[in-house]
Structure 1
Amino acid sequence: MISDPELDGTGEPRPTEHAERAEEPPPHEGAVGARRPWLWALGGAAIASAVWAGGLYAFGDRLAAPDLSYRATENLCQDFEARALGRIAGDLHRYRPRNQHDDHPAVRRAVCDLQNGENVSTFTVRAQVDLHRKTDPGPEFDVPSGWFFAESGGVSTEEVPGLGERALLLVEPRSTSVELKVLHGGAVFTVAASGRGSEPKSPAEMAALRAAVVEDGRALLAALKK
Structure 2
Amino acid sequence: MHRKALKESLESCSAAVKLETKKHCLLSRTSFPIPVPTLRKLVRAAGLGCIAEISIGVVPPVPECMPVFPNRFLAILSGQDFFVNSRGNRLFTCMWTPRKSECKVLIFICHGYGAECSISMGDTVARLVHRGYAVHGINHEGHGKSSGSKGYLSSFGDVVRDCSDNFKSVCEKQENRLKKRFLYGFSMRGTVVLQLHRKDPLYWDGAVLLAPMCKVRSLTH
**Fold-level similarity (TM above 0.5):** no
Give the number of the structure whose alpha-carbon radius of gyration is greater: 1
Higher strand fraction: Structure 1 or Structure 2?
1
Q: TM-score, normalised by structure 1?
A: 0.24
Normalised by the length of structure 2, the TM-score is 0.24
